[in-house]
């Protein structure tokens, strides 16, 4: 039997940096990371590069800008091709997710407490370049238990609409 290969699909470089940091500190399971916007792009264009028998897709979805139709169609494609996958819906985007996990009252507080900056773009640039991101997360009381914990409402909306008959798994990871 072949060994399961975990593959993270995330929207961009900021999420890639974040996931790499958590994996390197054994807070997330090991796995390859590919940048792919599951909420806005057609997965059929890349699905052939994965093996449904041995690849487990861990999909991180931003909810600030998304197409419900695209998400549902992508889920249908994965199910049709017999992939094992789970989906984590972020609360808006990574910055909002960090705000929750670090117990910040606002995004401005998050930006200032991490890098003493005032904009999302400055924050992302510094975040991606940060060589001691784990220390930064620790000093801001990062709580992984809160990570990707607010997606249930969105999945219920999707389940009650177009994705009703599709198999959707939230938060189940294979090692």
Return the pLDDT at 167: 46
Q: Give every CB contact of residue 7 below 8 A, 6+ residues apart in sequence.
A: 31, 32, 33, 34, 50, 55, 56, 57, 58
Cβ atoms < 10 Å from Cβ of 8: 23
Task: Output the pLDDT for position 160.
Answer: 47
Query: E strand or H helix at 7, and its extent?
Result: strand 5-10
Query: Could you tell me if residue 174 is inside a domain?
Result: no
Q: Please name which of 97, 120, 99 lies closest in space to residue 109, comparing C-alpha atoms.
A: 99
Report the predicted TM-score, pTM, of the whole model to 2 decimal places.
0.85
Structural domain of 38: 5-160
pLDDT at 158: 52
Q: Give me the pLDDT at residue 3, please.
A: 82
Q: What is the mean pLDDT of each run of 10 residues along the chain (175 residues)?
A: 84 96 91 94 93 91 83 88 87 92 97 97 97 96 87 51 47 42
pLDDT value at residue 166: 44
Report yes or no on 165 lying in a domain.
no
Per-residue pLDDT, 138: 96
Q: Is 171 inside any structural domain? A: no
Per-residue model confidence (pLDDT) at position 171: 46
Q: Where residue 113 sits, what CATH number does that domain have?
A: 3.40.50
Domain membership of residue 172 (yes or no) is no
- Summarised one tens digit per residue, pLDDT across range 145-172 is 888 876 555 554 454 444 544 444 444 4
**pLDDT tens digits for 4-15?**
899 999 999 999
Q: Is 54 inside any structural domain?
A: yes
Q: How many domains does the chain have?
A: 1
Residue 129: partners with Cβ closer than 8 Å, 6 or more residues away: none
């Amino acid at each position: 039997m072949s060994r399961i290969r975990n593959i993270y699909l995330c929207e961009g470089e900021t999420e890639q940096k974040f996931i790499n940091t958590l994996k390197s500190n054994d807070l997330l399971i090991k796995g390859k990371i590919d940048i792919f916007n599951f909420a806005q792009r057609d997965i059929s264009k890349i699905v052939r590069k994965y093996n449904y028998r041995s690849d487990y897709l861990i999909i991180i979805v931003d909810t600030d800008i998304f197409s419900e139709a695209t998400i549902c169609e992508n889920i249908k494609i994965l199910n049709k091709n017999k992939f094992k996958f789970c989906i984590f819906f972020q609360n808006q985007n990574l910055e909002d997710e960090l705000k929750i996990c670090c117990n910040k009252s606002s995004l401005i507080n998050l930006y200032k407490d991490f890098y003493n900056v005032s904009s999302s773009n400055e924050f992302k640039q510094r975040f991606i370049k940060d060589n001691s991101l784990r220390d930064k997360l620790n000093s801001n009381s990062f709580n992984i238990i809160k990570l990707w914990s607010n997606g249930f409402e969105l999945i219920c909306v999707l389940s009650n609409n177009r994705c009703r008959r599709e198999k959707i798994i939230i938060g189940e990871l294979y090692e």
